[in-house]
Structure 1
């Protein structure tokens, strides 16, 4: 037993309490029922670790002196470790890294030929193949995930499985290889338009105008738009349907809508509006340049209508046949939309950081029916941030897939909905109105919207009127503990245009402490209109939990599974097969191997892709360590709020998987992805009060 594990046993309630059995204190054994009442996992006695030998009184003084000395040294060391680097220093380090031989040009790595780089001497990457091969890390065991009979590996020399390549290095392309199995990538043309604020949103703006929600809410933006409108009045731009030129100023009364928006938003939150709203609307541009000669030449980058930028042929055809000025009259009736029936379907919740595409593939393989991407911020999507758009990617195995977006205002959310609707292939769009994270709530988004029902109404009405996709909403019971309010909004949410609502049985103030309030979820489900599907969320960790909630409230359409899937993704198999799966350590390792393979296919098989996969694997392992095998428990099934004692597994691998030390998680990652780089450290992004040990040893 190492020192960190001994500390864990000593500090754990089972060992430190007076009633804990041990040979030294002669205490009495607590019954499993007593342990469960204290939210302590009732692990069988033969698997519990023995308590550590406490130091004698003669050496206690010396140990205290040593502890004081160590405490004096730790702050200085921790301050040094946590020293933040400036942006200039980080930029300098990136440039130095690019000059290194390890930063080989991707084109040269693919082909092995220096002459294939289109930039030649101006390339910012290294072209020294021999130096790269001398410094490259050792290849990993196993087979390259990109090798097939038809196409070569797109990473070539940089691949960490290059020895398994059959016939040297030939040309391949990572984007082409990924295109066959993954969709919803952001094109460079659309990204440039978003960067320059040249993208136009006719559907969203028309709907926002109809609801009186269009336009920024500050005087500076108002003056800019007024100036643009005055300039447009002098231009010879008019309606000419025969030539395809549309005067958008006849359809959108910019001045009136901005005035209404100013009055509304100033009463809500003037400072937040300045942060959340996009820049003022650009000048409308004719669809045909012949109608207004000379205007196109004045634009360095032409404006683009969202409906013309679709990557799907069928969406392009629909966009070409619908003019912006008639979009409002062609709004689909709710009964004409594609309705998704969530009843009896196993829904994997959108999970920040861990709910990535490889993890969702694992859950699909284990029985999940519905998957949803990680929460994406609307403002970041509208700015064309590649990292945010990566959260919307979809694998071909996800047959029922949705994306989750989050925003504070109707205009940003509605424009993001139109953009996602046209650029992505999704089955439904979920609006997060329950996120408890401070950085989200402080901007007026997430669960902060629960305190502003009129803003909720504007967002849902505008978003549902902009897309014919299935629109869902995720909420918490309330913002403040003890002041539930979803029951008073449930009927309105359906009337505003949402097709389904997921209720997390906790308030924002409660976060994840205490158990979810399922009785309140049942109350809301019974009050919901028939057309609105209600899903419950919170503390589902076994098929018995699933069965109970479905039996207690037939009005509940389904249940969303979140943390339960993080700890044991095979919960979907257990629900479908109606059994407690006493999964072995070898079977759990196979699941981790699948994740590693999916991660290499998604992030790449070069060093960068391997380390990205490792990081996300370690984040996931920080949750899986909380699982206690069925065969080790006196009472089954395990509950999410149980704190596990320090225990031995039935074999060494099971013991290793039960460790809450990041050093042991790193050891598991090395079994799958090879040795970590020198100086590698890890601390999980999400920390729980009950599981706060994440030191590297």
Structure 2
């Protein structure tokens, strides 16, 4: 594999970092193996494949290690890690939100959290807030407790601006500077990322004052505006024109996840409104949101309180919303009038997905650095992680971070998830206004319980009329192509997409991705590609159908395309998580027996891109480490080509315990979280004291008997 082909493999195996001291060398082929491996060796290759056991060459087999695996609830990853507290201690030490907030503020004032402005410039007088700053100004105290620098170079070393983290950078010693603290930077542009949320727009979303004229006009035309009013929000029809039309039916939640991939925290705050109670926050003692005020009333009250607020509201809302009302009005058409002014779905811009390698939107692991790695390895289409519409409409920074795009992503889309036409349409308009994207995907197949319980994701598969309303409202709100991702159905054995495939195209979707599994099935059993083919053949010509499920080699890709020419392309999800070089394999039509050194180089590139994205200070380093560990929980499932008796590897194969061809490869195939941490330490330095890690996503892909 040459440099021009991948662009990411820039060093050979000889340049790999010093290998850990391990005794993992496989025994010679002549030595007998243990009883566990012997029982494995008694089975023929065909019998192993029939039982979904990876047929690994016998002299690489080894006894299973006597340690906890990655499937345990919690993995103790360091010898000096603190013991896990008991359940009773959790109950005893439970703290109120106010107490937690107070502790966070106190922690911010500690010397380890130095003011970013002072860290960047090295000048204690550079902070305009002085004593009122919420961060510490104790430079000497910060230096005294700062962890040691990490080996390597600062990711911002070549930027034309100073390193944004300055004194806080964990690569401070490599800074090129004219002063002793090494604050200045180098020569290139600092960031090529876009799709950040404007602060003024975020404030409007926080205050529930954002207007959505296009979405509301389309909802009104479809008869969907105001159908499910809250009991606490009764607005008379005669006052409808005076009311801010873009008032979001979302709660003003306080739950913001720590980083953009924290799905558990994110979904806890993703309060999808109920049909008859849109504004009462579930599980909260907070009162419902107030009735939205009219523009005149709001401006009048603001003038009494602060004249400056009136100017701000008139400027921001006026520029972003009022000027677009004539355009939005074009969507509001009478049955006999001006129908020709409305764009038909077939007249919109169309993206040709045919033959393109599509990296699926992947929660937590499908972050921007990972997508950049896949782009270099051959991916053509990338899509951001699933974002909840309600959280976007609340202006949550953590949710908007999921929409970030890098300039290298030349064909990029975002994926959103919502339960109701109004929230989806308004989120669409907001994204169209604030972000640069090529298409917007609506997730109607997410199987996660908390999403389904709110009526979104796979729950929509049981409500075809809701699907119709959402697609029609979304496609009528924005001119960008709208795509939909679904599963075969909600319940196993009750597929229903084939009966909706024609309508999905007529409702306004440009493309649909069908995951060949039901929601109830999750990832057990293999994907039902025959059903995907059936849907692709029934789809109208204007609707592109993409398949998804179990594509793990170029042979899988070729088979799917050959069996059904009507299929536009295949979306690759877990296959890219386990071996991101699958895109290179498909384009070059070969099995790549990648070495451990080449795999480590890919991880190095991910770490470098992660530090650029999340930061090179301590917080950024640990965030990068956490996402690296999440990814390693998938890459360990890859079985090197040279160790297999049968090629290619299948996604549902359960590997026995085995050695790699060298110590590093043996470390990489381990399913122990402790070994993943050791790999992270090779790239990001020692973990903090008491560090533990357990993967968020525990797929049952080969933990269920029915996989055989």
TM-score, with length taken from structure 1? 0.82
Q: Distance in 2 between matches of 1:363 and 1:131?
A: 41
Distance change >3 Å, CA 304–CA 639, structure 1 → 2: farther
Mapping for residues 215-294 of structure 1, pairs under 5 Å: 215=226, 217-218=228-229, 220-223=231-234, 225-226=235-236, 229-230=238-239, 270=276, 282-283=292-293, 285=295
Aligned residue runs from structure 1 range 138-149, under 5 A: 138-148=148-158
Question: Bigger shift: 453-462 or 210-219?
Answer: 210-219
Contact 1:217 1:274 in 2 (8 A): no
8 Å contact from structure 1 (residues 342, 558) kept in 2: yes
Report the CA distance shift for 1:304/1:458 in structure 2 as closer, same or farther (over 3 A). farther
Query: Helix, strand or coil for the counterpart of 2:38?
Result: coil
Instruction: Check the 8 A contact 2:421/2:469 in 1, yes or no.
Output: yes
Matched, 1:328 2:332: yes
Matches within 5 A, 1:550-565: 550-565=561-576
Match of 1:197 among 184, 204, 208: 208
Pick the structure with greater CA Rg: 1
> 1: distance between equivalents of 2:245 and 2:696?
47
Q: Name which of structure 1's ranges 294-303 and 79-88 shifts more when overlaid on structure 2.
A: 294-303
Q: Is the 8 A contact 2:213 2:245 kept in 1?
A: no
Cα distance in 2 between the residues matched to 1:159 and 1:402: 32
TM-superposed CA distance for 1:486, in Å, is 0.3
Question: Structure 1 pair 273/476, CA: closer, same or farther in 2 (3 Å)?
Answer: farther
- What is the deviation of 1:596? 0.2
Cα deviation digits, residues 380-409 of structure 1 (max 9, x gap): 000000000000000000000000000000
Partner of 1:103: 113
Equivalent pair of 1:35/1:41 in contact (CA under 8 Å): yes
Q: How much does 1:464 deviate? A: 0.2
Check 1:470–1:455 CA distance in 2 against 1; reply closer, same or farther (3 A cut): same
Query: Which aligned pairs between 1:586-625 and structure 2 lie closer than 5 A?
Result: 586-625=597-636
- State the alpha-carbon separation in 2 of the partners of residues 388 and 536 from structure 1: 27
Please report the RMSD computed on the Cα atoms of aligned residues, expressed in angstroms: 3.6
Q: Distance in 2 between matches of 1:599 and 1:672?
A: 12
Q: How do residues 12-23 of structure 1 correspond to structure 2 at under 5 angstroms?
A: 21=38
2:523 alignment counterpart: 512
Give the direction of change, closer, same or farther, for the CA distance of 1:76–1:426 in structure 2 (3 Å limit): closer
Relative CO higher for 1 or 2, CA cutoff 8 Å, sep ≥ 6? 2
Given that 1:203 and 1:324 are in contact with CA atoms closer than 8 Å, whether structure 2 keeps it comes out as: yes
Map 1:104-123 onto structure 2 (within 5 A): 104-123=114-133
Q: CA deviation at 1:130?
A: 1.1
* Counterpart in the other structure of 2:446: 435
Give CA-to-partner distance per residue, 1:219-278, whole Å, 9 cap, x none: 53552x229x45x8xxxxxxxxxxxxxx778999xxxxxxxxxxxxxxx953578669x9
Q: Give the Cα separation in 1 of the matches to 2:517 and 2:113.
A: 48
Equivalent in the alignment of 1:352: 363
* Unpaired stretches in structure 2, ≥5 consecutive residues: 1-20, 25-32, 67-81, 247-273, 283-287, 334-340, 704-708
**Does structure 2 retain, via aligned residues, the 8 Å contact 1:147–1:153?**
yes
Q: As a proportion of its length, which structure holds more helix?
A: 1
Q: For residue 430 of structure 2, what is the aligned residue in structure 1? A: 419
Residue in 1 aligned with 2:543?
532
Is the 8 Å Cα contact of residues 537 and 561 (structure 1) preserved in structure 2?
Answer: yes
- The alignment status of 1:568 with 2:579, answered yes or no, reads yes
Change (3 A) 1:125 1:599: same
Give yes or no for the alignment of 1:383 onto 2:409.
no
| Structure 1 residue ranges without an equivalent (≥5) | 6-13, 54-73, 233-246, 253-267, 311-315, 693-697
The correspondence for 2:62, drawn from 49, 58, 70, is 49
CA drift at 1:326: 3.5
Deviation string for 1:490-537 (max 9, x for gaps)? 000000000000000000000110000000000000000000000000
Q: Which of 393, 401, 415 is the matching residue for 2:404?
A: 393
- Quote the offset at 1:216 in angstroms: 5.7
Sort the Cα spacing of 1:427 and 1:125 in 2 relative to 1 into closer, same or farther, 3 A.
Answer: same
